[in-house]
Structure 1
Amino acid sequence: MRIITGKDIASVCSWPMIIEALRQGHRLAPAKLADALVEDGGRKMLVRTAWIPGLASGTKAVTIYPDNPSQTPALPSVQGQVLLFDEARGDVVAVLEGVDLTAWKTAGDSALGADCLARKDMRTMLMVGAGAMAGQLIAAHRTVRPGIDRVLIWNRSAARGEELAAEISAGGVSAEFAADLDAALPQADLISSATMATEPLIRGELIRPGAHVDLVGAYTPAMREADDTTLRRGRLFVDSFATTIGHIGEVEIPLRSGAISRADILGDMHALVQGSIGRQSDDEITVFKNGGGAHLDIMVAHAVSSALARG
């Protein structure tokens, strides 16, 4: 069994590698999944398990403690590990640092969704939220759509939004803080949202035709980032039916209210990767809900473990 640290993960990972690992993983048989979420006030523990026939099996366990960053000394709000098993023998292959792996997996998932759905000619990206995932999402999306040469960043805290804009600009990409989200939405070809919102921030009436919307943040039944109009105007896809329907407020709340129907969720990542569904015109709005899931962690963990084993 190998212990794989965040430094080990960074030493072998790149966005093309991660995106390709997820693409190849979705060409295999669908994973068998099981999740458990336990809450104590605002604190949460999430355990996700997946078995991907022919690849690997494993479990990711993380805790989410929102107040940790304000402690003295400050602690990460999310902490956890991924346990990777050999699919044929059942023995533990590796234990991987969960937070670092999750960042690569989450942004890679969104980038693969965009690669399957977003127009090739996009130039302007709007990042909604400037938290821990924002920089990775910008980098991952620009990997599959390198024509993006302008990034707008909206955040509740202007200071953090301006700080991230400066970081992105220092990397050679034009970036600016957008104080008015409603004014920024119609400018964007790609909108990626990674917030802790429980009420919709993105107003669908303001989204330009042809845009792609990547919804990352909502991961509980009470959370949403986009309004009903966004889902009704756009053609809606998810990374996994099993980890979104019945689990995540982004789709479950409008399903319960009747704002959308099950038939409006047109497909998942397996169908997108296999090319049986996708964008149909340059003018349509596409919406992709990144719901996560242990199968994605296992695809990435297997790729990382294999790369390190090769030396």
Structure 2
Amino acid sequence: MLVLDEEQTRAALPWPELIEAIAHMFTGDCVMPVRHHHEMEVPNEESATLLLMPAWVPGRYAGVKTVSVFPGNVRRGLPAIFGTYLLSSGATGEMLAAVDGGELTARRTAAASALAARYLARPDAEEMLVCGTGRLSLNLMLAHGTTRPIKKYRVWGRNGQAAEKIAAEARALGLNAEAVADAQAAARTADIISCATLSSEPLISGAWLKPGAHLDLVGAFKPSMRESDDDAIRRASIYVDTRAGAISEAGDIVQPLKSGVLKERDIKAELAELVSGAHNGRSDDAEVTLFKSVGAALEDLAGAILAYETVTGRK
């Protein structure tokens, strides 16, 4: 059985190929049951979450990802997310690979956002703001830079030193990046705003979004969490990775639905409809768009298959 650690997983998932693999999976015949979502008590700190995400392509591949999310790890200097992806044959059940789940999750999440931005962000988007200083932040910058001509990256976080660290890592990779202390000022000029946090209170106000802005929300994966306010929901055309996931798990969607600010019919399309051409996405240069991602098991399966086939040369 192939075992890929974090570095090997990263090397096996180049951005252009990963984005295309996810796009292909969204239009294929992947079977994706509802994922298991369990809250785990952690004494004297925030509760953790255990996720189990199965998916399979009949006769080809099957897999399941186990992920734990421990918000309190930020105080221990540890990543919030740990996990493993187990890939097996969809024809025989033979175990084929164990892929580092944290790296796979970070890269496929960023790749899915970049895929959505291909349809929702302005083609000439040049300035990006990233809110959050976790593992996803740098991945989001790199992924979006694959699909849009980003020239300036800004990083905001509650911890200014952590924001500067991410900006420095981005600069080391050749990106024009800087940390900022004023999220509002940075949001007002940004073409793309990506939020990747565990916030329970809105970080971005709709009043800050300029005409043509694209708001990409990839954190806040529980109904109690939220990264955008009601004004953003009112101003934007709303898109999601999957309707089923967004309306049951994503606070940025669940809370406005509950209050009546948003109706289910107001959700323009899910990612599969964008990729298939069933919906065209952005309608004009002034439209404000919002994409809410909670993660889909087929994205993990697409990444695991790509990593396995890249390393082994098998198809």
TM-score normalised to structure 2 length: 0.92
Cα distance, 1:250–1:56 mapped onto 2, change above 3 Å: farther
Cα distance, 1:244–1:30 mapped onto 2, change above 3 Å: farther
Q: Deviations over 1:28-73 (max 9, x none)?
A: 13532221122233122111122334653211111122333544xx
Match of 2:124 in 1: 121
The one of 124, 137, 140 aligned to 2:143: 140
Match of 1:151 in 2: 153
Match of 1:9 in 2: 9
Q: Distance in 2 between matches of 1:199 and 1:138?
A: 23
The amino acid across from 1:2 in the alignment is: L
Q: Which moved more, 1:151-160 or 1:35-44?
A: 35-44
Q: Deviations over 1:243-301 (max 9, x none)?
A: 22112211111111101000111111111101221111111011111110211101110
Residue 176 of structure 1 deviates from its aligned partner by 2.0
Cα distance, 1:75–1:209 mapped onto 2, change above 3 Å: closer
Q: Distance in 1 between matches of 2:64 and 2:265?
A: 31
* Matched ranges for 1:68-83 at <5 A: 68-71=73-76, 75-83=78-86
Ranges in structure 1 where 5+ consecutive residues have no aligned partner: none
Q: Distance in 1 between matches of 2:4 and 2:176?
A: 35
Residue 127 of structure 1 deviates from its aligned partner by 0.8
Q: Deviations over 1:177-231 (max 9, x none)?
A: 2211111111000111101101111000110011111101111111110111111
The one of 269, 272, 280 aligned to 1:270: 272
Question: Residue 130 of structure 1 contacts residue 154 of structure 1 at CA under 8 Å; is this kept in 2?
Answer: yes
The one of 79, 102, 109 aligned to 2:105: 102
3-state SS in 2 of match to 1:197: coil
3-state SS in 2 of match to 1:266: strand
Q: Which moved more, 1:100-109 or 1:30-39?
A: 30-39
Match of 1:247 in 2: 249
Match of 1:281 in 2: 284
Match of 1:49 in 2: 54
3-state SS in 2 of match to 1:283: coil
* Matched ranges for 1:133-282 at <5 A: 133-145=136-148, 147-277=149-279, 278-282=281-285
3-state SS in 1 of match to 2:133: coil
Q: Distance in 2 between matches of 1:248 and 1:218?
A: 7
Match of 2:64 in 1: 59
Cα distance, 1:194–1:148 mapped onto 2, change above 3 Å: same
Cα distance, 1:54–1:138 mapped onto 2, change above 3 Å: farther
Q: Distance in 1 between matches of 2:152 and 2:182?
A: 17
Alignment partner of 1:86 is 2:101 = no
Cα distance, 1:172–1:3 mapped onto 2, change above 3 Å: closer
Question: Residue 52 of structure 1 contacts residue 295 of structure 1 at CA under 8 Å; is this kept in 2?
Answer: no
Q: Distance in 2 between matches of 1:51 and 1:250?
A: 29
Q: Deviations over 1:134-176 (max 9, x none)?
A: 001000000111x211112111011111222233233333222
Task: Tell me the C-alpha RMSD between the 2 structures.
Answer: 1.7
Cα distance, 1:44–1:298 mapped onto 2, change above 3 Å: same
The amino acid across from 2:93 in the alignment is: G
TM-score normalised to structure 1 length: 0.94
Ranges in structure 2 where 5+ consecutive residues have no aligned partner: 42-46
3-state SS in 2 of match to 1:231: helix
The amino acid across from 1:80 in the alignment is: G
The one of 282, 299, 307 aligned to 2:310: 307
